[in-house]
C-alpha cells in the first residue's frame, strides 16, 4: 500500500492561470544516456503526471500528454518514484518550461519572452533515486542579506550539511533577504551539496519592485521555475506551495497559519 505524504505546505492565494486556446503536446521519456534529448530507443513513460499549474494530466502508454498552454505560467513534469528529473550545473532541478510575454522592468533579471513552443515539449527522466527509506535535508530561512552573510551560509551550514548522505535538499523559503542579486551565488553554493536542491519561495524572495502579485516571483522563476509544484521520492509525495500574497508597494501578507 502506497503512502501519501504531503509536506512543505506553503500555498498561494492566487487567481487561476489564464490559459490560451492552445494545447501543448509532449512526451515524458526515459533518458537512458542522460543527455536531455529523446534518442532512438528511449521509450515514453506511462502514468507520469504533467501540470500547467492548474490542470494535472497523466501520460498515456506511449508517454504522451496534452495540456492547456498557460499565457503566463509554466508546464512542468512531476517527478515519479524511481526516476529523477534533469538538474543543471548547480544541481537545481530543471523540470519545467516557462511561458512568458514581454518581461516587465523589475530591477532584477526576469524570464525573457518565450520563444515559440516546440511541437513536442518533452521531459527527460533518468532512473534513480532512493527507495521508500531516504534522508533529505530541509532548511528554512537562510535569509542572507549580504554577500558576506552568504559566506556564513556556506561555512556554517552548507559545509556541515554536506557531510550527511542525503538524497536531496529543499530550501523552505526566504532563501535570501530581499536582495535578489544574491540568488545566483546562493544557487552555486547550495549546488556544492552534490544532490538535487529544490526551492520554495518565501516573502523575502519576492521582487518588491513588482507592481502586482503576478510578477512578484519573476526573478525566483528565472532561477527555480514554478513557485508551486510537486515531486515524488520513494513512497512520498512532496507538494511545494506558496501562501505569500504580494500587495504591491513592497508589502506582502500570509494567511493565518491556523
Tens digit of pLDDT for each residue in 74-100? 999 999 999 999 999 999 999 999 999
Q: Does the structure show a pLDDT above 90 at 215?
A: yes
Residue 104 has pLDDT above 80, yes or no: yes
Count of beta carbons in the 10 Å neighbourhood of residue 145: 13
| pLDDT tier, 129 (very low <50, low <70, confident <90, very high otherwise) | confident
Rounded to 5 degrees, φ, ψ at 33 are -105, 10
Judge whether residue 68 has pLDDT over 80. Answer: yes
Cell 500570509 locates to 254
Q: Which of 164, 68, 168, 83 is nearest to 121 (CA)?
A: 68
Stretch 157-167: mean pLDDT: 93
DSSP letter (8 states) at residue 173: S
Gap between the Cα atoms of 78 and 58, Å rounded: 10
pLDDT of residue 249 exceeding 80, the answer is no
Query: pLDDT grade, residue 243 (50/70/90)?
Result: confident
Percent of the chain with pLDDT over 90: 79
66, containing H or E segment? strand 64-70
Give percent above pLDDT 70 in the chain: 88
Model confidence at 2: pLDDT above 80: no
CA distance 223 to 225: 6
Amino acid at each position: 500500500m502506497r503512502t501519501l505524504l504531503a509536506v512543505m505546505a506553503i500555498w498561494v492565494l492566487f487567481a487561476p492561470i489564464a490559459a490560451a486556446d492552445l494545447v501543448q503536446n509532449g512526451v515524458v521519456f526515459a533518458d537512458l544516456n542522460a543527455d536531455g534529448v529523446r534518442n532512438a530507443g528511449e521509450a515514453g513513460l506511462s502514468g507520469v503526471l504533467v501540470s500547467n499549474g492548474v490542470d494535472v494530466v497523466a501520460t498515456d502508454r506511449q508517454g504522451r500528454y496534452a495540456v492547456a498552454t498557460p499565457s503566463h505560467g509554466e508546464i512542468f513534469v512531476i517527478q515519479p518514484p524511481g526516476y529523477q528529473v534533469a538538474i543543471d550545473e548547480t544541481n537545481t532541478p530543471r523540470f519545467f518550461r516557462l511561458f512568458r510575454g514581454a518581461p516587465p522592468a523589475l530591477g532584477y533579471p526576469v524570464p525573457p519572452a518565450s520563444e515559440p513552443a516546440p511541437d513536442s515539449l518533452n521531459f527527460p527522466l533518468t532512473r534513480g533515486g532512493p527507495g521508500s527509506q531516504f534522508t533529505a535535508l530541509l532548511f528554512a530561512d537562510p535569509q542572507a542579506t549580504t554577500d558576506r552573510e552568504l559566506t556564513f551560509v556556506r561555512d556554517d551550514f552548507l559545509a556541515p550539511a554536506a557531510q550527511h548522505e542525503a538524497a536531496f535538499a529543499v530550501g523552505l523559503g526566504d532563501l535570501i533577504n530581499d536582495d535578489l542579486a544574491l540568488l545566483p551565488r546562493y544557487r552555486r553554493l547550495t549546488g556544492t551539496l552534490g544532490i538535487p536542491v529544490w526551492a520554495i519561495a518565501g516573502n523575502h524572495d519576492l521582487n518588491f519592485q513588482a507592481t502586482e502579485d503576478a510578477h512578484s516571483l519573476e526573478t525566483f522563476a528565472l532561477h527555480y521555475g514554478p513557485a508551486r509544484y510537486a515531486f515524488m521520492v520513494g513512497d512520498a509525495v512532496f507538494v511545494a506551495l506558496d501562501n505569500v500574497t504580494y500587495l504591491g508597494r513592497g508589502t506582502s501578507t500570509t494567511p493565518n497559519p491556523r
